[in-house]
Amino acid sequence: MFTSVVNINQVPTEIIAYNCWIEEVGLDINGKKDIVILITGNPGVPAFYKEFASQLQSMLPTDVPIWIIGHTGHAINPEDNVNHSYPDLKTHSHLYNLNGNLEHKVQFVRKYSPADARIHLIGHSIGAWFVLNLLKNNDIEKKVSKCYLLFPTLERLAETVNGKFLINFALRISFILVFLSWIFTLFPYFLQASLIRIFGFFYGIPSKLDDAILQLVSPLPVQSAFFLGENEMHQIKNRNDSTISQHKNKLYLYYGMMDGWVPIRYYEDLKKRFPDIDAHLCKRSFRHAFVLQDSVEMGQMIGDMINKSIDST
């Protein structure tokens, strides 16, 4: 596993890579350049997806790079000794909003994927929205072999149970949470880690995610996550049926049975509009935030599908 911070669309961005670092994609032994790119949900902390990506790595050929990219300003590693300069969110909000994060992904794929790459895109939650919109870019779309949209937030977010909670409660107290995160960063690292472990114990969050949570609990990541979330509520309304129709053969969609962000009726509406689309309703009780408990099982399922896609080309 490789982890480093690179500058993408003017924002320092943590990238986690397996099998091959993003700047080292060269000649392939088998003449192939298959690449898996995972775009996270919100909050966009790549470290939440380590176990999922490790499972993918165990199932895919060793020459297939797996890259994880989150969102602008969502992850700051408290143990990172390098002082990265992040653009101010108030004066550079265009870099942190929905469109800025889409451009962030466009620049990443353009810069680091070879011209003859065959890209397998995985998008979780809002990451699925980014994946769908990447297909609007002709240069990127030509490289994309398959898209896996997991618990996809593609429409009417403000109408969902979780969307209403975010708008009516969480966003209204977000300034308090930002202030508390600032207080938290003043504590010694060992105390921060201890408090995160205690919090995780009471809320059922496994200890393997402690480092990921520590990257999130700083003023800029908390602000950025809320800012992007508010953007999502205002901008993601109607499902983009024209893009879905145009690229239907490249899409695989996986919906949850009980999902506060994506009600079952959204799956049913999609199937009614596109009866032959490769969309499925989870029968295994996986949660929207599958990275908390179901990373291995999800990794096995998606890894198996990517393997079959690679073998068929």
Residues with catalytic annotation? Answer: 125, 259, 288
Residues 6 or more apart whose Cβ sits within 8 Å of residue 233: 157, 158, 163, 166, 167
Q: What are phi and psi of 3, to 5 degrees?
A: -135, 130
> Closest Cα partner for 4 from 80, 100, 106, 96?
80
> Closest Cα partner for 63 from 88, 101, 85, 35?
35
Largest CA distance in the chain: 55
Report the C-alpha gap between 126 and 129 in whole angstroms. Answer: 5
H or E element at residue 126? helix 126-134
Q: Which residue type sits at 40? A: T
Could you list the beta-strand ranges (E) of 163-278: 251-255
H or E element at residue 5? strand 2-8
CA atoms within 13 A on the CB side of 245: 7
Report the C-alpha gap between 255 and 267 in whole angstroms. Answer: 7
